[in-house]
A and B are shown apart, each in its own frame.
Chain A
Amino acid sequence: EVQLVESGGGLGQPGGSLRLSCSASGFTFNSYAMSWVRQAPGKGLEWVSGISDSGGSTFYADSVKGRFTVSRDNSKNTLYLQMNSLRAEDTAVYYCARWRTREFEYWGQGTLVTVSS
């Protein structure tokens, strides 16, 4: 069974940093691209970032480009999202998802990031 478990969310200061993690199990992690999708409270879904199976290619939404960095450790079956220069508009539930590059096949339960002073 595919399982994706996010962690690392919480309260972040404007201008501060947080690092999210997504622990994967139930599939061969290094064979799949992965992605982050977020959902602001009461709002719709917004794709944030993606990374290829090897980690050699990364992709970002313009809203986070230059501030967020996606990475993965295939030896630990873990996906990361380093979030710097946080803004209030980054407040959202962040989901990691197994990514077939066209669509998001499996999703974690999400972790809430709140940016506030």
Chain B
Amino acid sequence: DIQMTQSPSSVSASVGDRVTITCRASQGISSWLAWYQQKPGKAPKLLIYAASTLQSGVPSRFSGSGSGTDFTLTISSLQPEDFATYYCQQGNSFPRTFGQGTKVEIK
């Protein structure tokens, strides 16, 4: 199975900050990487797929980059509604696997 490792596990940030979350795959996954946002008690929401393609309706302050084994999710200017947990997920091979999550908290 491909292991997905996110860092950091949590980050404290203020409104307006630039936040970067990293996801590393245990083996190459080309660009088959997705990012999700999950708020407490809610279902995950797809933000980015194919490493860098923004899902329809997602604000442009979210961006993704990377290929192979190293990927990044960037929130360019953190908004109050962005405080949540973020997960990466590989879509290259079965079983589909997720990172352990990164919690973005209010500083």
B19 to chain A, nearest CB (A): 19
**Interface residue total, chain B, C-beta cutoff 8 A:** 24
Which of B10-18, B20-28, B67-75, B92-100 forms contacts with chain A? Answer: B92-100
The contact size tier of chain A is 20 to 34
- Answer whether residue A107 sits at the interface, using C-beta atoms and an 8 A cutoff: yes
- Answer whether residue A9 sits at the interface, using C-beta atoms and an 8 A cutoff: no
Main secondary structure of the interface of A (DSSP, over half): strand
Given contacts A44-B101, A45-B44, A59-B94, contact A103 B34 (CB under 8 A): yes
Q: How far is the CA of A26 from the CA of B45 in the complex (A)?
A: 17
Chain B, range 43-91, C-beta contacts under 8 Å to A: 43-46, 49-50, 55, 87, 89, 91
Q: How far is the CA of A59 from the CA of B97 in the complex (A)?
A: 13
Residues 30-68 of chain A, each 1 if its beta carbon lies under 8 Å from chain B, else 0: 000001010000001111001000000001011000000
Which of A14-22, A84-92, A94-102 forms contacts with chain B? Answer: A94-102
B95: chain A residues at CB < 8 Å are: 47, 59, 61-62
Closest to B90 in A: A102
Closest to A46 in B: B98
Given contacts A46-B98, A47-B95, contact A104 B87 (CB under 8 A): no
A109: chain B residues at CB < 8 Å are: 42-43
Q: Chain A CB within 10 Å — which of B32, B36, B43, B97 has the most?
A: B43
Contact B45 A103 (CB under 8 A): no
Of the residues B43, B55, B87, contact of A44 by C-beta under 8 Å: B87
Where the two chains meet, the residues of B that have a C-beta atom closer than 8 Å to any C-beta of A are: 32, 34, 36, 38, 42-46, 49-50, 55, 87, 89, 91-92, 94-101
